[in-house]
Amino acid sequence: MIPKWLTTRYQNRDRAGAVQRKGMGVQTTLGSSVTFDGVGLHSGAPVRMTVHPAPTDHGIVFRRTDVKGMNPRIPALWDHVTPSKLCTLIENADGVSVSTIEHIMAALTGVGIHNALIEIDGPEVPILDGSSAPFVRGMRAAGLRTLGGALSAIRVLKPVEVREGEAVARLEPASALEIDFAIDFTDAAIGKQEKRLNMANGAFVRELMDSRTFCRQADVDYMRANGLALGGTYENAVVVDGDKVLSPGGLRHADEAVRHKMLDALGDLALAGAPILGRYTGNRAGHAMTNRLLRALFADDSAWEWEACTPAQAYRLPGAGVCRPAVAAR
């Protein structure tokens, strides 16, 4: 028996034209390609990444242009995630991987892109300024193109939760995507922070996209001693030490840390493979826990269902209306 999630968000594919005539929401892609140059946060290696338009039902797929003799394509899906404490890493059956994908995934969701081919010449997405803002600016400049396929979403039908110690991640029913996040750090520069957002009406672009990854100076020292964070600087991360913010210019928001955790959560939830209609609650949750939550959701067929999006529903999805339209697909 084929698992329910593999019946796919595109189960209306053969009826796309009819569904469109009935006024259903449609899939999107970029209006043109956009390239980002930078370095990997952990490797420190230079990397070039180009996000290309892709056709209906393509989804988000990474393609390693530096790989020869193996399958270079890695679908950005929850069941391709390999456990990693410091970032989100996806891998295909040949062992070809791409890491630190959470910021670009959040940006794609935050500007309403459903289909894209992401070509990258190395194993790690460029960190740029440590947020999603450079990705968002590039993709907004490229514009949005509507495609011919009907848009389906994943509706959460009942609460699903995973725990690890004091950390909790939970999905429960809601009419649109909401994110509720809380963190608690001993460093006074971060401390306790909590924020809740309905992700409709451009909330990601307005509230979250410019919030940078953060860490403690002690963590930086430890990671560098172990060959990690080699591309990290005070310019592409918020580094704190007790009550001090060491990064030049200080914080972009007083609660920048929890906003970044929400950005990460949005990027990790994007690996569901379709927009989620539900409320996500995270308390001290990280990348691995959000992936465990998606696995728990899709393991229970009674916890979710596919739903064809009406135009009204599509308009309430993250990213709806934030990109200028490009020429429609023929």
- The pairing of beta strand 214-216 with beta strand 238-241: parallel
Alpha-carbon distance of 291 to 304, in angstroms, equals 16
Q: Answer whether 42's CB lies under 8 Å from 100's CB.
A: yes
Closest C-alpha to 139, from 54, 29, 41, 55: 29
Q: Which residues contact 14 (CB under 8 A, 6 or more apart)?
A: none
Q: Which residues contact 136 (CB under 8 A, 6 or more apart)?
A: 107, 110, 111, 205, 209
Closest C-alpha to 177, from 87, 106, 85, 116: 106
Which amino acid belongs to residue 54?
Answer: A
58 in catalytic set? no
Residue 21 C-beta-side C-alpha neighbours within 13 Å: 3
Q: Which residue has the tokens 């339209």?
A: 325
Q: Which residue has the tokens 């389906």?
A: 152
Catalytic hit among 52, 58, 114, 287: 287
Closest C-alpha to 154, from 8, 293, 2, 312: 8
Give the bridge partners for 306, in sequence order: 154
Q: How many helices and strands, by DSSP H and E, does the chain display?
A: 8, 21
Burial of 166 (0-12, 13-18, 19+ CB in 10 A): exposed
Question: Which residues are catalytically annotated?
Answer: 287
